[in-house]
Amino acid sequence: MDIPPLNEHRSARADTARASARWSVEQVEALFALPFSDLLHRAHGVHREHFEPNAVQLSTLLSVKTGGCPEDCGYCPQAARYHTDVADEDLLALETVVATARLAKENGATRFCMGAAWRGPKPRDLERVAQMVTAVRALGLETCATLGLLKEGQAEQLKSAGLDYYNHNIDTAPEFYGGIITTRTQQDRLDTLGRVRRAGIRVCCGGIIGMGESRRTRAALIAQLASLDPYPESVPINNLVQVAGTPLHGTPELDPLEFVRTIACARITMPAAMVRLSAGRQQMSEAVQALCFHAGANSIFYGEKLLTTGNPDVEHDRRLFEKLGLRPMEADSGR
């Protein structure tokens, strides 16, 4: 299978609103099959065309409503039906969220993401989250929220509050999705993304790998993301964090170099997107993280926790950045 030449998918960062180039599963599979050095060389070249190569966006993610979720996502310790150590907690107070966001900014973060374990927000809950968005944005941080499925009018309410990004992952390829989640369809997720787009909010959308899927499934996930019109401005690539009590606990672990290949394929197919090295980073060696940055990852979650699972701490990340000659991205350059 031929891989499209590089210039067919070249795009200035300002052009992300144009129609995305269509990538077939077979074309992305061909990227995955390249010799490792060739794949990274191509991905790094694309990265340098669109971004300052040694700058990484720092985002902080706070769970503003933890546990008790009615969904059955097989990877998630926040699902009420699974026996994990995650307790059902109420929505955080506005003052707590603002204090956490202020500390994140002091530590160098430029984007603050708020996550809630809901199927979707109720009107009274959305009003409280909207107040959080407005207050966090007033600190000079970019705002992102992940609140589950949105109904008509809810994205507009978040936009009015000042929300910059909405995160809603498609998780995996369509043919694999039903084996991971049964309480919501992938089309439900796509419908929410459509509402977010129509409201004028930027999209943060990626997936999870290492759930027992094949390489073709990983290629299909990347092809689907890259063929969204337009493709997401932010693309988090998550490596499954296995939590005892969830159905996916005990899944054979993904080879780290296959994860790097996935990052590279995301960079090549979505050249102007922020590609985020997301969940699972705590389990990665510094060498694997370095390869991911070379392959085009230019965003990380920064802080002690990623919702309910561990994340490398701030000082560890600062030391790694020093070793690699990386620097935090300026606040406006990742928009």
The torsion defined by the Cα of 153, 158, 160 and 161, in degrees rounded to 10, comes to 150
Known active-site residue 144: yes
Residue in 111, 128, 204, 281 annotated catalytic: 204
73 as an active site residue: the answer is yes
Q: Is 265 a catalytic residue?
A: no
**Out of 144, 205, 265, 292, which one is annotated catalytic?**
144
Q: What is the DSSP string of 52-91?
A: -TTEEEEEEEEEEE-S-B----TT-TTBTTS--SPPP-PP
Q: Note if 113 is an active site residue.
A: yes
Taking alpha carbons only, the member of 318, 320, 314 closest to residue 284 is: 320
Q: Could you identify the residue written with the tokens 């065309």?
A: 49
Catalytic residue chosen out of the listed positions 184, 261, 276, 281: 276
Segments of the chain assigned E as strands: 55-65, 111-116, 142-146, 165-167, 202-204, 207-209, 234-239, 274-277, 299-301, 305-306, 309-310, 327-328
Report CA dihedral (138, 50, 61, 239) to the nearest 10 degrees: 170
Cα separation of 258 and 276, whole Å? 16
The separation between CA 221 and the C-alpha centre of its own chain, rounded to angstroms, equals 13
Residue 195 carries which side chain, given as an amino acid letter? R
205 is catalytic: no
> One of 42, 76, 205, 218 is an active-site residue; which one?
76
Matching residue, tokens 């995301």:
266
Q: Which of 69, 205, 265, 292 is catalytic?
A: 69
Give me the catalytic one of 42, 73, 189, 218: 73
Q: Which of 42, 111, 113, 265 is catalytic?
A: 113
Q: Annotated active-site positions, please?
A: 69, 73, 76, 113, 144, 204, 276
